[in-house]
Amino acid sequence: VEEGYSDEYNVLESIDDKMELSHHLAHAYSVCAQAPFDTGMVVVMDGMGETYRVMKKAVEMGDETYVSDFTLCNDDDDGREIEIVPRNLEELAAKSYYDWREAESVYTFCKDESGLKVKPIFKRFTQENSPPTLYNHGFENMDSLGALYSRASSHIFGDWNACGKAMGLAPWQDHAWDSEKEGEMKQRIIPEMIDTPIVEGTLYKDG
């Protein structure tokens, strides 16, 4: 068991009825519950979400302690199915040595006096390219937008799991800070910009 997993705040021993949410769905609920409006759309681009086989098995086994997008689709009453990419995921997953994981997901939500309703409408899965038992769970080698930040953070911070820092720093590229020391005039501090490319080359092979 990894450090922290058995912490009393994670185990919730005093709670009798526990329910687990799939990875991207948990992200969506955390946003929808705090959104300052009653209806909207949520896009989750976490690099490595839940595995397809786990989500599928929970539905097949009727596991009521685990809720995923597939569970919500089965419970939905409007007959509209979630769009899955790739379309032949079930066939591909059956042939895959490893598994497929959530890459990007889209949800709509509605809040009213009866509560919060989250509906999955789109989900792209990406294949695991490395053994999920690696130290980084193969995250750095995933084909997803979130995993791209993971690869960048490996170069910037030397840590594949510092992708959140890279995401958080991105909007501050053009920001300027005010600095005022005691007895001195306020001055603007603007980060130095790099005009030359960090790497050179092409995405395509010659010929």
pLDDT in tens, the chain (207 residues): 566 667 777 777 777 788 899 999 999 999 999 999 999 999 998 878 999 999 999 999 999 999 999 998 866 555 457 899 999 999 999 998 899 999 999 999 999 999 999 999 999 999 998 888 887 777 777 888 888 888 888 888 988 888 888 888 877 766 666 666 655 656 666 666 667 765 666 655 555
Q: How far apart are the first and last CA of the chain?
A: 50
d(CA 45, CA 23): 11
Strand duo 177-179 + 39-44: pairing: unpaired
d(CA 150, CA 139): 7
Asked if residues 96 and 48 have their Cβ atoms less than 8 Å apart, the reply is: no
Which one-letter DSSP state was computed for residue 11? H
Asked if residues 70 and 58 have their Cβ atoms less than 8 Å apart, the reply is: yes
d(CA 22, CA 35): 20
